[in-house]
Structure 1
């Protein structure tokens, strides 16, 4: 017999704290994407080089990031390094873990996007007197961004959702951490996590909406 009594008032009183946690969640995800994109671009370049060490390093990074659970990566950064005397905060471990994961997936996206741009365009640009840097900056990169834009959006949504793993290493000021703290104090699990799920959903939908608007403005022609 279902005899659970809902107490939404108590959960809604905690909404300001949960919204503050949601902002921390978004900031963490955004930073992980910024660092992830920069590292992914470097990994993409390294994978195109003929130097075996650089290519091997980049391929190993991508392989580990894409074939091991994000939970393990965060655990190793927090508990693994801690066991060796290198202590990092919960937030740093979470940010580093998500960045490591993002960089691996984005590097593969960038590599695919780079392969989709015909090499003849670079040769044509060089024949017109452009340097290699100019050819990539003016010809290749704009087309690459168009190709990988929506995968970038998906990865940003994924990064937001992955921040919930911070609770396993003691992070208590993001959305999941704040929700768990209130859950422990009140035992109103359904109410608090239902609200948290709605907030995660709204963040994800807002990211997709903004991405569509940006795509319409940037790629209309």
Structure 2
């Protein structure tokens, strides 16, 4: 039933730990880039969903609904395999980045929309009466307040992005999970490799959470 004579060989993992750390950096890189790009797109999607322009509103709604109501794995497959049917061949890295950006943008758009709706309309009127353009009002007055309100949900989304990069292994991306799978297949020390990988994911997630709290204490020190 159970093999209690299992002998751990941690030295096997230790010898290739630098390779796993490099793969973890790729994981962080993809997660951070997908969050930055996703946030930029999400700002336009959240505003577009409330726009009076039918094309902008419809396009935003379609993007958000697809991103939020289909599996992230499906989105990665569409970016990697689906676009290939149209002659667009992306590398595993780019495909995962595109898919996670698409997904993050959809979720962040709804988060931002909640933030925008919490800002009183009188602020726009007051800013316009002072001679500021609509773009200036959004950039200098409204958007900073919105980002402050949605700061913590964005932190959760960042952690989610880090964990979801693991799906990239299914299209051949050698991020942390992909590299771990490759390395353990050479030695068959499955338990040791995946335990160390899980610990690395845990440390990355907790580091983001801790860093977020420290940054929030610094940025929002004067908040009630």
TM range (shorter): over 0.9
- Once structures 1 and 2 are overlaid, which stretch shifts more, 81-90 or 125-134? 125-134
Q: Secondary structure at the match of 1:220?
A: coil
Give 2:29's match in structure 1, choosing from 13, 27, 30. 27
The equivalent of 1:207 in structure 2 is 208
Say whether 1:165 aligns with 2:163: no
Cα distance in 2, alignment partners of residues 178 and 23 from structure 1: 12
CA distances 1:34-76 after superposition (whole Å, capped 9, x unpaired): 1101111111221121111110000000000000000000011
The equivalent of 2:90 in structure 1 is 88
Q: Secondary structure at the match of 2:150?
A: helix
CA distances 1:118-170 after superposition (whole Å, capped 9, x unpaired): 11222223333433233223321121011111111111111111110110001
Cα distance in 2, alignment partners of residues 170 and 138 from structure 1: 43
Deviation at 1:209, TM superposition (A): 1.2
Cα distance in 1, alignment partners of residues 86 and 186 from structure 2: 34
The equivalent of 2:184 in structure 1 is 183
Cα distance in 1, alignment partners of residues 63 and 73 from structure 2: 16
- Flag the 1:87–1:133 CA change in 2: closer, same or farther, 3 A: closer
Q: Secondary structure at the match of 1:91?
A: helix
CA distances 1:7-53 after superposition (whole Å, capped 9, x unpaired): 11111211111001101110111110111011111112211211111
Q: Secondary structure at the match of 1:203?
A: helix
Cα distance in 1, alignment partners of residues 149 and 173 from structure 2: 35
- Once structures 1 and 2 are overlaid, which stretch shifts more, 125-134 or 135-144? 125-134
Q: Secondary structure at the match of 1:83?
A: helix
Unaligned 5+ segments in structure 1 are none
The equivalent of 2:128 in structure 1 is 126
Cα distance in 1, alignment partners of residues 139 and 101 from structure 2: 25
- Once structures 1 and 2 are overlaid, which stretch shifts more, 53-62 or 123-132? 123-132
Cα distance in 2, alignment partners of residues 31 and 134 from structure 1: 26
Give 1:13's match in structure 2, choosing from 5, 12, 15. 15
The equivalent of 1:78 in structure 2 is 80
Q: Secondary structure at the match of 1:136?
A: helix
Cα distance in 2, alignment partners of residues 128 and 81 from structure 1: 48
Q: What does 1:8-157 correspond to in 2, within 5 Å?
A: 8-157=10-159
